[in-house]
Structure 1
Amino acid sequence: MTKRLVIKVTAGADAPERCSQAFTVAAVAVASGVEVSLWLTGESAWFALPGRAAQFDLPHSAPLADLIDAILAGGTLTLCTQCAARREITGDDVLPGVRIAGAQVFVQEAMADGAQALVY
């Protein structure tokens, strides 16, 4: 059975420790060979845009841009459809490799055999 981890992060710069924890867990899971799907919702939606992660700073944590690169290299990074629309973010705006999808896809991933879901 494939190990799958679906993570939904709702926090952004408004809650930096919680935000960093989600990205760190996702990147470590990818490095460990786990199939990872990280969902950007709420204020974390901004990190789907080029350059936004470089502006995030949290002492004693890995750079968010590096974590995103690691996640994109071996996992899936998804921006919530509604969150994107509320922020007027389109598919043309996001980092290469980021997809925009809705709740139905999240539920499918979270309910798949072998999946574990976390929310930050």
Structure 2
Amino acid sequence: MAKKLVIKVTAGPEAAERCSQAFTVAAVGVASGVEVSLWLTGESSWFALPGRAAEFELPHAAPLPDLLDSLLAGGRVTLCTQCAARRDITEKDVLEGVRIAGAQVFVQEAMADDAQSLVY
């Protein structure tokens, strides 16, 4: 069994179920004691900003702010460098605990011997 779970989420409100599933799986991983790294890319990039997760709604799903809080507390949340640049998001804009990093770091995490990777 993998000891580290690397999840890349590309979807935002336009694909709410896929987005919610990524955050839910990541949060369950953290709650289960797995080392989790969640990567925000594409439209999910906006969730790195304060208040954006609170705008997300999906019936019968765990609230995105709660999931994100658990990930920030017990895992790692990374915003894609290029995705941030395309949206004019800088390190001073993001939630405390969110880092901005690029493809090289993602590949290192995803290719680690003890890692399992998922893309949503």
User: Please, what TM-score do these two structures have when normalized by structure 2?
Assistant: 0.98
2:73 is aligned to 73
Tell me the SS of whatever aligns to 1:77: strand
Check whether the contact 2:49–2:94 (CA below 8 A) recurs between aligned residues: yes
User: Please, what TM-score do these two structures have when normalized by structure 1?
Assistant: 0.98
Root-mean-square deviation (Å): 1.0
Residue segments in structure 2 that go unaligned for 5+ positions in a row: none
Structure 1: how far apart are the matches of 2:40 and 2:10? Answer: 7
Structure 2: how far apart are the matches of 1:104 and 1:89? Answer: 19
Structure 1: how far apart are the matches of 2:82 and 2:56? Answer: 23
1:25 is aligned to 25
In the alignment, is residue 87 of structure 1 matched against residue 87 of structure 2? yes
Residue segments in structure 1 that go unaligned for 5+ positions in a row: none
- Which structure 2 residues correspond to residues 5-84 of structure 1 after superposition, within 5 A? 5-84=5-84
Aligned-residue identity in percent: 82
Check whether the contact 1:30–1:75 (CA below 8 A) recurs between aligned residues: yes
Tell me the SS of whatever aligns to 2:13: coil
In the alignment, is residue 103 of structure 1 matched against residue 81 of structure 2? no
Check whether the contact 1:2–1:35 (CA below 8 A) recurs between aligned residues: no
Aligned length: 120
